[in-house]
Structure 1
Amino acid sequence: MQKHSLIALAVAFLAAACTLEPKYERPAAPVSAQFPAQGIYATQPGAADNGTRSANAKPAADIGWRDFFTDPRLQRLIEISLKNNRDLRVAVLNIQASRAQYQITRAGLMPTINAVGSQTKSRTPKDLSFFNQTITNEYSVGVSGSWELDFFGRIQSLKDQALDQYLATAQARKAAEISLVSQVADQYLTVLSFDDLLKVTEGTLKTAQESYRITKLQFDNGTGSELDLRQAQTVVEQASANYQQEARLRAQAVNALVLLVGEPLPDDLPPGVTLDSQDLLTDIPAGLPSDLLTRRPDIMEAEENLLAANANIGAARAAFFPEISLTGNFGTLSPTLGSLFKPGSAAWGFTPTITLPIFTGGKNKADLDLANVQKNIQVATYEKAIQTAFREVADGLAARGTYDEQIAALERDTFAEQRRLDLSDLRYRNGVDSYLLVLTAQTDLYSAQQALISARVARLTNLVDLYQALGGGWIERNGDQPRPADAAVDYSAASVPAAASASSAN
């Protein structure tokens, strides 16, 4: 009866125990309360400005990636990548490892009970034995248990630390998935830009080859100069070299896309649309910088790591206080195996233990100092994550406010260069101007076309990256219920084991 009273008292004390963790206060965001809104930031495009689809004031986190990207080929590539990408598989497996570590640490709060059976056989010298009994046997069977009473919250703090690290890993997986959606889209757009560049270079090469043929014919007939011939040849050779370079870069871009997708590109991919026909959402609202704290998984990951460091301080503080544990056993004990379970063979033991650190060579103090330093590191990391997110969104807004006008100007420039080439060629054929003017106009047109393609792909990738920077890409379709960061998802045909939810971990 006395033993049961002691256990009940211990449970009551344990329930009332508290941790020595410092009270957590979220650091103030080290950024402005508003995103920049003056100058180029004030000219953000709207759907009504260019006749494109509208986000209807929905934040990026509420817009599914299938609704942001309308190209069916790109949608299929993103879908495949979410199943096959190896980096994403590693992120999922990291969640499982972190969850298992949390369960291991949490188990320290519970008693440990073991079934025990043993035989001890010993020999005593005859002159030291009683009744000349030199060989003795002892058989025992029963249960033993131990329990550390966490009065000062050391184990509880370690459990909190492990849980926060688990949740940080889950947010890291979420950030990896959002980033993967953006990376696949950016790489796909890059491949499309090389398709356009190859078409422009191929057209320039054909025009240059025709000009070279005519110029060579004139030179062979004695009506043209070698200077004109060599000038025409330079355009042909330069366009030919550019074509090979762009073909090489396109092949490498496809290889990078295959790596992201995680398998060779299927032959049955649906038809895609051209670079110029991509219809991405252009008017997603930026909101306030404070919104990023709940939309950006990398920021939430940094805060979970900060919470883990805060909990570790509690464990380091508890190391200065006594550790109290209870151990006990109950079973039967007998000198012979046959009488092990006979009446009167019951045996038990109960051993409370208290350990108070007196001298550790400064280890506990150093552990506490280390825990405080690690927390300060995580504070700086958290603040840096917020600053980085603010900068990425601000950069995206600055670009979004300028690309439309830049592309419009480049389109007018390309039209003017084409017209200039037509007029220069006409004047050359009528003997008014030299062939050098035709050559210069042709080269300038080629450069203008390349610049236009580069600006178009930069505009699209900026919209994609801004969508990611604002926390978009986690849900598949508008209206979907956002999954928990550690939600179970079948990422591959091989059925990679998925992490259980946070609710089950708790």
Structure 2
Amino acid sequence: MTKTLTTLLLVAGVLSGCTLAPHYDRPEPPVAVAYPAAPEGYAASEVKTGETRRASDIGWREFFRDPRLQSLIATAIDNNRDLRTAALRIEEARAQYQVQRADLLPTVNANASYQRGQFSSLSVAPGAGGAQTFTGSVYQVGLGISQYELDFFGRVRSLSNAALAQYFSTEEARRAAHISLVSEVAKAYLSERALAEQYDIARDTLAARQSTYDLAKRRFDAGATSALDLRDNESLVAQARVSAAQLARQRAQAQNALEVLVGKPIAEIADLPAPMKLSDERIISDIPEGLPSDLLEQRPDIRQAEQQLLSANANIGAARAAFFPRITLTSNAGTISPSFSGLFDAGTKTWSFAPSLVLPIFDTGRNLSNLDLANVRKRIEIANYEKTIQTAFSEVADALVARGTLEEQVAGQEQQRNAEAARFELSRMRFRSGVASYLDELDAQRQLFNAEQALVQARQLRLVNAIDLYRALGGGLNETAPQ
């Protein structure tokens, strides 16, 4: 009996390695073989460091040189609730996979029972003479296997493979969430810093314009200037006051958004370094983009979508196996005796072996519908996989196109700011010399303020674009360069 059972289990284990799932072929990426060219005149990007490593090989501490930003990212990784949820999802998927995998092997249970009642002597002592009835007790102990499915057609194996792919998918989702968190913290930090610099400019401008207005008011009271000049000064003061109030509000909101990502108030982070100016930020901006096909391995969200596709493909195998017979095995071996002390005496051994076969004949189309459903879900996952690749391709292409143009935009904006600053000084000198009217100085002051604000915004855009390219190419998962 034991040899027969062992042989059946070995045969079942060998056959269960095969499934009826379709052969998996990775879909062709629905994107071009190369990224689109940059706008005419901006084809060559600025190469500063000669960087040749992939984004995934550059740790975020190396990519972000700002010590304050490094501390914020490290704190966010430890405290962010979304990242915690993603990690717990992995534990959930691992447990589900282990539950499903357990069905591949038989479950052996120990059992013990006691009965008191009227019995037949044949049921207790099969080898005795004629049947007699008696009132007494029956003790029974043994080991048993209950409803173990001999997976000849790979149904259980397919379900296990589907659960394994779901587990891998959840792990990739956590990696994608980690990369997204690093980039979002960096962009939120740059947003807060840009608004802080713009607010400082607006506050300084307000103080300067208020001083100029006070001087104009005294000159007007003395009859040296017209009411028009006074009202122009008053308008500039009001504009600066409005800008300062708007920027103060926006900066506070940006800091709130940053603290949500970090997971705790910034004031509670110990030994937080002082912030750097945007002009002093040194973020790697010349990461090589490689080929679009490289994204399949670099981006965890693409790998996540492919694991979802593999899971759907495995579920087709389980749906196909439902059309074939399902063979289950129930067996038990032990001893039975009318007295507890005689459980292990000679002649008390019992065993049972009860295989069963269920062949679907008429199920009102249930199995066929389940197979259709599995095939449709696979096609949905193929579409999702292709869409994820297209999105990744678009993100990299947009960042590459913007890289050269933003470098040029910042250079042009710096030139304009310098020109407006020189113009303001010349206008002030001309007014004091009596060569030009005061309106020229007011206009130059207004244009200088706009140019300084625009320069801060351009620098922020350039840095954010570098972060977007880093994330789009799969960077931000590792703290330091992988060994």
TM range (shorter): over 0.9
Question: Which of 424, 427, 446 matches 2:427?
Answer: 424
Equivalent residue, structure 1, for 2:105: 110
CA contact (8 A) 1:54 1:282 kept: no
CA contact (8 A) 1:54 1:281 kept: no
After TM superposition, give the deviation of residue 413 of structure 1 in Å.
Answer: 1.1
Equivalent residue, structure 1, for 2:14: 15
After TM superposition, give the deviation of residue 430 of structure 1 in Å.
Answer: 4.2
Letter in 2 for 1:166: Y
After TM superposition, give the deviation of residue 341 of structure 1 in Å.
Answer: 3.4
After TM superposition, give the deviation of residue 303 of structure 1 in Å.
Answer: 0.4
Equivalent residue, structure 2, for 1:43: 44
Structure 1 residues 190-213: Cα deviation after superposition (integer angstroms, max 9, x where no partner): 121122112211221122112101
Judging changes above 3 Å, is the alpha-carbon distance between structure 1 residues 259 and 30 closer, same or farther for their aligned structure 2 residues?
same
- For the pair 1:294 / 2:293, whether they are aligned, the reply is no
Question: Which secondary structure does the structure 1 equivalent of 2:43 belong to?
Answer: helix
Equivalent residue, structure 1, for 2:115: 120
Question: Which secondary structure does the structure 2 equivalent of 1:213 belong to?
Answer: helix
CA contact (8 A) 1:44 1:400 kept: yes
Moved over 6 A (4+): none
Q: Distance in 2 between matches of 1:64 and 1:140?
A: 64
Equivalent residue, structure 2, for 1:496: none
Equivalent residue, structure 1, for 2:125: none
- For the pair 1:280 / 2:283, whether they are aligned, the reply is yes
CA contact (8 A) 2:39 2:401 kept: no
Q: Distance in 2 between matches of 1:423 and 1:274?
A: 28
CA contact (8 A) 1:43 1:402 kept: no
After TM superposition, give the deviation of residue 404 of structure 1 in Å.
Answer: 1.1
Equivalent residue, structure 1, for 2:54: 59
Structure 1 residues 244-268: Cα deviation after superposition (integer angstroms, max 9, x where no partner): 2212221222222222122222141
Q: Distance in 1 between matches of 2:362 and 2:286?
A: 65
Equivalent residue, structure 2, for 1:494: none
Equivalent residue, structure 1, for 2:376: 373
Question: Which of 396, 401, 410 matches 1:393?
Answer: 396
CA contact (8 A) 2:116 2:137 kept: yes
Equivalent residue, structure 2, for 1:188: 189
Equivalent residue, structure 2, for 1:219: 220
Letter in 1 for 2:422: R
After TM superposition, give the deviation of residue 332 of structure 1 in Å.
Answer: 1.6
- For the pair 1:140 / 2:140, whether they are aligned, the reply is yes
Bigger shift: residues 241-250 or 370-379: 241-250
Question: Which secondary structure does the structure 2 equivalent of 1:139 belong to?
Answer: strand
CA contact (8 A) 1:139 1:334 kept: yes
- For the pair 1:269 / 2:272, whether they are aligned, the reply is yes
Q: How many residues align?
A: 467
Q: Distance in 1 between matches of 2:372 and 2:132?
A: 62
After TM superposition, give the deviation of residue 132 of structure 1 in Å.
Answer: 8.2
Structure 1 residues 456-506: Cα deviation after superposition (integer angstroms, max 9, x where no partner): 00100110110111111122223x23xxxxxxxxxxxxxxxxxxxxxxxxx
Question: Which of 287, 310, 313 matches 2:313?
Answer: 310
Equivalent residue, structure 2, for 1:24: 24
Query: Which residues of 2 match residues 128-207 of structure 1 at below 5 A?
Result: 135=135, 137-146=137-146, 147-207=148-208
CA contact (8 A) 2:15 2:151 kept: no
Question: Which of 467, 479, 483 matches 1:476?
Answer: 479
Letter in 1 for 2:100: T
Query: Which residues of 2 match residues 432-447 of structure 1 at below 5 A?
Result: 432-447=435-450
CA contact (8 A) 2:37 2:401 kept: no
CA contact (8 A) 1:29 1:386 kept: yes
Bigger shift: residues 58-67 or 75-84: 75-84
Q: Distance in 1 between matches of 2:390 and 2:316?
A: 26
Question: Which secondary structure does the structure 1 equivalent of 2:342 belong to?
Answer: coil
Judging changes above 3 Å, is the alpha-carbon distance between structure 1 residues 38 and 223 closer, same or farther for their aligned structure 2 residues?
closer
CA contact (8 A) 2:38 2:401 kept: no
Q: Provide the aligned C-alpha RMSD in A.
A: 1.9
Structure 1 residues 42-62: Cα deviation after superposition (integer angstroms, max 9, x where no partner): 121111xxxxx442x111111
Structure 1 gap ranges (5+):
48-52, 125-129, 482-506
Bigger shift: residues 440-449 or 168-177: 440-449
Q: Distance in 1 between matches of 2:427 and 2:15?
A: 91
After TM superposition, give the deviation of residue 39 of structure 1 in Å.
Answer: 3.0
Question: Which of 52, 64, 83 matches 1:88?
Answer: 83
Letter in 2 for 1:226: A
After TM superposition, give the deviation of residue 101 of structure 1 in Å.
Answer: 0.6
Q: Distance in 1 between matches of 2:140 and 2:439?
A: 106
Q: Distance in 2 between matches of 1:419 and 1:339?
A: 110
Q: Distance in 2 between matches of 1:6 and 1:213?
A: 102
Identity %: 50
Structure 1 residues 14-46: Cα deviation after superposition (integer angstroms, max 9, x where no partner): 303410000000000000000112535612111
CA contact (8 A) 2:326 2:358 kept: yes
Letter in 2 for 1:90: T
Judging changes above 3 Å, is the alpha-carbon distance between structure 1 residues 241 and 122 closer, same or farther for their aligned structure 2 residues?
farther
Structure 1 length-normalised TM = 0.88
Structure 1 residues 285-305: Cα deviation after superposition (integer angstroms, max 9, x where no partner): 000000000000000000011
After TM superposition, give the deviation of residue 338 of structure 1 in Å.
Answer: 4.2
Q: Distance in 1 between matches of 2:73 and 2:38?
A: 36
Bigger shift: residues 416-425 or 154-163: 416-425
Structure 1 residues 70-93: Cα deviation after superposition (integer angstroms, max 9, x where no partner): 111111222222222111111111
Equivalent residue, structure 1, for 2:65: 70
Judging changes above 3 Å, is the alpha-carbon distance between structure 1 residues 132 and 108 closer, same or farther for their aligned structure 2 residues?
closer
